[in-house]
Amino acid sequence: MKIAVVAPSCTLKPEAAEAVAAIARARGDVDLAIHPQCFLSDGHFAGHDEARLMALREVMADESIDAVWFARGGYGSNRIAEAAAAELPAAAKRKTYLGYSDAGFLLAAFDKAGLMVAHGPMVQDVVREGGEAAVHRALDWLVNRDEGALDAGVRFGQRTMAFNLTVLSNLLGTAIEPDFSGADLLIEDVAEHEYRIDRAMFHVTGSPAIRRIASLRMGRMSEIPENDPVFGSDAESIVREWCGRSGIVFGGIADIGHDAANRIVPFDLARN
């Protein structure tokens, strides 16, 4: 099993790359190819748009690579997502793509294009507390299709999609919006004020495309900055309220988030 790592958003920390490479060597079941593009830096990004796109397209087209693992989030994959999903080579269709947070723009574009995508831990998560477990979970899924790595609600025959709420809000209506019809939609977010969560929920649940989902489940909303004044309701109440207002079924809690416990959500097990 050969897995390529590219960074479509921000630069990967070398110490994270080294730690994950060491884990992969110790496992012995995976050949991890960390693309040098991961360490480029151009302003906010891991290299200019063209450099990030070229590295991604290169590993997508490589017949020897079984999966593409996004190095980390941050911001920037939206800038190349539409181009990355265009005119796909056959080899791109035989791979799994794994990431979350900002990489959700790619999950959306690739899911729309019919590729196998999964929401789950990325390489740089190794630096989190307990991050080794997240890395093993990612590899257990990519290498062994270990169902123990999945969110407990994921099941065959039911589309399950997972996104960072803010990323989801920012891709609705664009060329990379996937088909949400009938899906169990999982959301999570990090470092957004309650008023921003409320506003994003207004936006997302106000979308006719989103109203076609089967249900919505809430992952962890972490590191919420203090609202000034006190907002008046917490994240779960906010999510439940907007589900109620929009006629969307609130399906409960999801085991995803910006943390080491982040479980894996393949969008469509039938594609795996």
- Choose between 68 and 171: whose C-beta lies nearer to its own copies: 171
Least separation in angstroms between residue 203's CB and its own copies is: 4
Pick the binder of its own copies from 140, 151, 188, 194 (CB under 8 A). 194
How far apart are alpha carbons 94 and 124 in whole angstroms? 25
Pick the binder of its own copies from 172, 214, 224, 261 (CB under 8 A). 172
Strand partners, 3: 32, 67
Please work out the total of residues on this chain that contact its own copies, with binding judged by CB under 8 A: 34
Applying CB under 8 A, does 208 fall inside the site for its own copies? yes
Cis ω for the linkage preceding 229 (within 30 of 0): yes
Contact 1, 95 (CB under 8 A): no
Least separation in angstroms between residue 264's CB and its own copies is: 25
SS3 (DSSP) at 30: coil
Applying CB under 8 A, does 233 fall inside the site for its own copies? yes
Residues 43-62, interacting with its own copies (CB under 8 A): 43-45
Least separation in angstroms between residue 44's CB and its own copies is: 5
- Choose between 158 and 233: whose C-beta lies nearer to its own copies: 233
Residue 140 C-beta-side C-alpha neighbours within 13 Å: 15
Of the candidates 111, 152, 110, 115, which has an alpha carbon nearest to the alpha carbon of residue 254?
152
Interface segment toward its own copies; rule CB under 8 A; list 14-22, 90-98, 141-149, 191-199: 191-199
User: What is the side-by-side order of every strand in the sheet holding 184-190?
Assistant: 160-164, 184-190, 215-222, 250-253
Residues 79-138, interacting with its own copies (CB under 8 A): 79
How far apart are alpha carbons 253 and 266 in whole angstroms? 17
Applying CB under 8 A, does 232 fall inside the site for its own copies? yes
Nearest-5° Cα angle at 52, 64 to 267: 65
Output helix, strand, coil percentages for the chain, rounded to the nearest 5: 40, 20, 40
Least separation in angstroms between residue 54's CB and its own copies is: 18
- Choose between 56 and 176: whose C-beta lies nearer to its own copies: 176
Least separation in angstroms between residue 200's CB and its own copies is: 7
Pick the binder of its own copies from 198, 255, 259, 268 (CB under 8 A). 198
DSSP-H helix ranges across 65-161: 78-84, 104-112, 131-144
Radius of gyration of the chain (CA): 18
Applying CB under 8 A, does 37 fall inside the site for its own copies? no
Applying CB under 8 A, the residues found at the interface with its own copies are 41-45, 75-76, 78-79, 169-176, 194-195, 198-200, 202-203, 206-209, 227, 229-233
